[in-house]
Structure 1
Amino acid sequence: MNVWRRLSGPRRALALAGAGALVAGGLVTIPVTAAHAATQCDIAYTSNDWPGGFTANITIKNVGDPLNGWTLGWTFPNSGQRVQQGWSATYTQSGSQVTARSMSYNGTLATGASTSIGFNGAWSGSNPKPTSFTLNGVVCNGGTTTPPTDPPTDPPTDPPTDPPTDPPTTNPPGAKVDNPYSGVPGYVNPEWKAKADAETGGSRISNNPTAVWLDRIAAINGTPDSSSNGAFGVRDHLDEALRQGAGYIQFVIYNLPGRDCSALASNGELGPDELPKYKAEYIDPIAAIQGESKYSSLRIINIIEIDSLPNLVTNTSDQAGGTVMCDTVKANGAYVNGVGYALAKLGAIGNVYNYIDAGHHGWLGWDSNFVPTANILKTAAVASGSTVNNVHGFITNTANYSALREPYFKITDNVNGQSVRQSKWVDWNFYVDELSFAQAFRNQLVSVGFNSNIGMLIDTSRNGWGGSARPTGPGATTSVDTYVNGGRIDRRAHLGNWCNQAGAGLGERPRANPETGIDAYVWVKPPGESDGSSKEIPNNEGKGFDRMCDPTYGGNARNGNNPSGALDNAPISGAWFSAQFQELMRNAYPAL
């Protein structure tokens, strides 16, 4: 399901613009003034250092009058600091003085708008951070002293980026709240609960809220004869949510034309040219039911089309392991326009909250994937009549296994002069866990034009990695690989492995507001539902057989030709997989 593009060969990749805020060696912000000058800015400068080199990321926020073209200037404190290769600006350096001029696509900055640039640099002696910046010749002294990884802190009197629909503290039915997960109980799907309760020990977790997957048109009204989903349709679930007194309910909108273009296990029923059918027979009926007035007291949360838009960046034919289907849906706009239509139609309902899928750190954590994916998410958000106001936030790690935190190593660690980024496991990624990625990606999404109060979700249903095999401390410092491999809690053979992973465990239980910028930890993938069959199983749901679900498979370019790590005897995706459910409970972290 969640596929990954492996970068070819170890390299010092260009850093992602705006992504270094959580992994930086330090942070510089410019102090606050009360009034805007004609030109005024707030600068956040972060760096990730290694011996003799560094990556710098700079976020420019315009807090003055609108700009049509800009030049940023600064002076390096040390004469041995040099810009070597940059992105998102044209760089020149004379002595210690550096200028960065805007490109054609990022020169226009409205009041309150931000953009991110960055560069790879070299240093000798030391690498102190510049402390003063100019924008169009004017010294920057405006903005906020809060680091950019904190949640939006604009006071109530600062209106530029707050959505006009934010309600007062007490919300009437149907009015949107800032965090739909906060302060209310979630819907417990009785069909999933019945399966969990039937398992030995399953009652320990069966009262957790999980998402309802609408993975084909028939699921809208219910599919009592299905092997993977039960008799309840959308209206049945909503009625049951009212009966339970639930405050929120989660649906996965998952039926794009040419769905999951790079993985066979979760292919869908619609061909790549069936966008009109997707709109008329799938999205429109869902919107009609969710919009019924009897459900206006529920916070209806839609997880929009997992795995879709990142595939257009990483899995087209010009990439390792790319597919013709991904080429097709990129060329014909099926994904971008389908997502845009879903956002517009569902977002028009006053009590609906849309969260778009945004991959995971093991897929998008490189500069070549991080910024382009944020850009295509923005493109989809304003396609087919939609606007960014239809996007309440984003979700990462959906149905995946990436560790929430890696407690025993961090991206800035060095072993014997080598960065952990040089290890085979990290492979030059800028992130080692899902939390740091989600928080940084949120910043990037805001920088490309999404509202500043968007929230992130992280699917923690299967990323606990507990049990007796869980490391209890860092690995040996013999080499960078022994250090990372000995201490990492994610025990997959490769970050690209996504199907029914052996050794995985339940992760953090669903809860709201767990970390800065994170609306909730959620269980979108219901524990116990298969990712795909370990061998070909004929079915009438359009779900194929993907070798990444075969435990005997030796891998492909997307997972570095590593073993798949999949469990044996798995049913088709979405069907109940008892052996996996039991293993997830055994390896839960926090433990049950």
Structure 2
Amino acid sequence: MPGRRTLTRTLIAASLAACAALTAACSGGSSSSAPPGSNPEPAAPSAGSPYWVDPESDAARQVRAWEAQGRTADAKALRRISTRPVADWPAGDRPGPGIEKAVRGAAPDGRTVLLVAYNIPHRDCGLYSAGGAHDAAAYRAWVGEFAAAIGDAPATVVLEPDAVSHIVDGCTPAQHHAERERLLAEAIGTLKANPRTKVYLDAGNPAWIDDPGKLVEPLKRAGVAKADGFSLNVSNFQRTEAVKAYGTRLSGLLGGRVHFVVDTSRNGDGPLPGDRQQAWCNPPGRALGTPPTTSTGDALLDSYLWIKRPGDSDGPCRGGPDAGTWWPDYALGLARRAKA
């Protein structure tokens, strides 16, 4: 799965320098027993959530490994992740096989697959999650295979985290803006041709583009009106109430009835205080947020989702492995500190 992160910066050059200079060690050891006052067994994952839970996820395999090693307290804590639905980020030039496998797994119980399409050309401005399709033609083919693999199955797709926000903050060079917006609009059309696919175009987070008005025209040009809405806080840590307020404001600027979803995978304790430049990359002391559910109590907010896979590294910072790599000690810390 491709790793990804969200920049919160005022100057691109400053951010690049900070990324290169990361040397701090990340907290979280591999203790075999839970700390005093650790949380009880998580509730059933199906409550309020229509999404499929992958029985072969990294977290699920880690739980089984720790149980076999006698690390029962750690395994119990990690079931807070393994028993809940998290998004699949199909990697590589051929997304179809992985998506088809998820669709087959979800079908017997009528579950919805949760997917992230993350392959836009010039992705991530050359940083930790750099890459993406070679060119526009390759991207169109990739999205076509992505959509074909879903077919008639129920699916929710978060489309291209960071892509629009990187247009707004200047990280993506201006000569690529029009092509990117066109590709995003085409991708929405391709995915929405499926009868049961929902699509949410990513719109960053309130700590990144602090004025949501700056997102309005790029989102419109990228086809948000034909999507089911937009996504917020993907792979970030902003508190739910702040993100909801931002989403409601952005929805109003887009016409007042545009829906959205929020990534709550790691925002249980909010962002790392006092570190705007590096708060996005493996910050210590964070916690799982609200479990995935469609019961939000807000007419505009369709779902709380775990879009970032809790326990996957943001990149080689604070002692972490490469972006998208499973990091069990970090996952365990998130789970132990969870409040739900």
Give the TM-score taking structure 2 as reference length: 0.79
The separation in 2 between residues aligned to 1:309 and 1:403, in whole angstroms, is 21
The separation in 1 between residues aligned to 2:254 and 2:91, in whole angstroms, is 27
Give 1:255's match in structure 2, choosing from 94, 103, 119: 119
Q: Structure 2: which 5+ runs fail to align?
A: 12-45, 67-73
Per the alignment, in what secondary structure is the counterpart of residue 53 of structure 2?
coil
| 1:503 is the counterpart of 2:253 | no
Contact 2:95–2:145 under 8 Å retained in 1: no
The separation in 2 between residues aligned to 1:249 and 1:439, in whole angstroms, is 26
The separation in 1 between residues aligned to 2:337 and 2:247, in whole angstroms, is 24
Letter in 1 for 2:56: E
Structure 1 residue 583: Cα displacement: 1.3
Structure 1 residues 341 and 399: CA distance shift in structure 2, 3 A? same
Give 1:203's match in structure 2, choosing from 64, 79, 104: 79
Match of 2:158 in 1: 303
Structure 1 residue 341: Cα displacement: 1.4
Match of 2:6 in 1: 2
Q: Structure 1: which 5+ runs fail to align?
A: 8-180, 222-232, 317-321, 383-387, 406-432, 466-488, 534-548, 550-566
Structure 1 residues 240 and 285: CA distance shift in structure 2, 3 A? same
Structure 1 residues 495 and 438: CA distance shift in structure 2, 3 A? farther
The separation in 2 between residues aligned to 1:275 and 1:301, in whole angstroms, is 23
Give 1:374's match in structure 2, choosing from 206, 210, 216: 216
Give 1:528's match in structure 2, choosing from 307, 311, 317: 311
Match of 2:260 in 1: 456
Structure 1 residue 269: Cα displacement: 4.0
Structure 1 residue 196: Cα displacement: 4.6
Structure 1 residue 215: Cα displacement: 3.5
The separation in 1 between residues aligned to 2:274 and 2:56, in whole angstroms, is 33
Structure 1 residue 372: Cα displacement: 2.2
Structure 1 residues 183 and 588: CA distance shift in structure 2, 3 A? closer
Structure 1 residues 575 and 250: CA distance shift in structure 2, 3 A? same
Contact 1:196–1:203 under 8 Å retained in 2: no
Contact 1:492–1:501 under 8 Å retained in 2: no
Letter in 2 for 1:394: F
Contact 1:256–1:334 under 8 Å retained in 2: no
| 1:398 is the counterpart of 2:234 | yes
Structure 1 residue 191: Cα displacement: 2.8
The separation in 1 between residues aligned to 2:164 and 2:81, in whole angstroms, is 32
Match of 2:144 in 1: 284
Structure 1 residues 531 and 491: CA distance shift in structure 2, 3 A? closer
Contact 1:260–1:267 under 8 Å retained in 2: yes
Match of 1:348 in 2: 193
Q: Which has the higher strand share?
A: 1
The Cα offsets for residues 136-172 of structure 1, whole Å up to 9 and x where unpaired, read as: xxxxxxxxxxxxxxxxxxxxxxxxxxxxxxxxxxxxx
Structure 1 residues 196 and 438: CA distance shift in structure 2, 3 A? farther
Give 1:576's match in structure 2, choosing from 326, 334, 338: 326
Structure 1 residues 196 and 358: CA distance shift in structure 2, 3 A? farther
| 1:220 is the counterpart of 2:96 | yes
Give 1:438's match in structure 2, choosing from 229, 235, 247: 247
The separation in 1 between residues aligned to 2:95 and 2:322, in whole angstroms, is 16
Higher Cα Rg, which structure: 1
Match of 1:275 in 2: 136
Per the alignment, in what secondary structure is the counterpart of residue 519 of structure 1?
strand
Q: Map 1:83-482 onto structure 2 (within 5 A).
A: 185-192=50-57, 193-198=59-64, 200=74, 201-221=77-97, 233-243=98-108, 245-261=109-125, 264-271=127-134, 274-280=135-141, 282-291=142-151, 296=152, 298-314=153-169, 316=170, 322=171, 325-330=172-177, 333-366=178-211, 370-381=212-223, 388-389=225-226, 391-405=227-241, 433-446=242-255, 452=257, 454-465=258-269
Per the alignment, in what secondary structure is the counterpart of residue 127 of structure 2?
coil
Match of 1:128 in 2: none
Contact 2:9–2:276 under 8 Å retained in 1: no
Match of 2:337 in 1: 587
Contact 2:94–2:145 under 8 Å retained in 1: no
The separation in 1 between residues aligned to 2:85 and 2:210, in whole angstroms, is 29
Letter in 1 for 2:82: S
* Number of residue equivalences: 290
Letter in 2 for 1:189: D
The separation in 2 between residues aligned to 1:377 and 1:341, in whole angstroms, is 13
Structure 1 residues 521 and 402: CA distance shift in structure 2, 3 A? same
The Cα offsets for residues 299-335 of structure 1, whole Å up to 9 and x where unpaired, read as: 2111000000111111x2xxxxx4xx533422xx332
The separation in 2 between residues aligned to 1:339 and 1:457, in whole angstroms, is 18
The Cα offsets for residues 30-76 of structure 1, whole Å up to 9 and x where unpaired, read as: xxxxxxxxxxxxxxxxxxxxxxxxxxxxxxxxxxxxxxxxxxxxxxx
Letter in 1 for 2:233: N
Identical columns (%): 28
The separation in 1 between residues aligned to 2:215 and 2:275, in whole angstroms, is 22
What RMSD, in angstroms, separates the aligned Cα atoms of the two structures?
A: 2.3
Contact 1:510–1:521 under 8 Å retained in 2: yes
Structure 1 residues 359 and 211: CA distance shift in structure 2, 3 A? same
Per the alignment, in what secondary structure is the counterpart of residue 217 of structure 2?
helix
The separation in 2 between residues aligned to 1:571 and 1:526, in whole angstroms, is 14
| 1:491 is the counterpart of 2:272 | yes
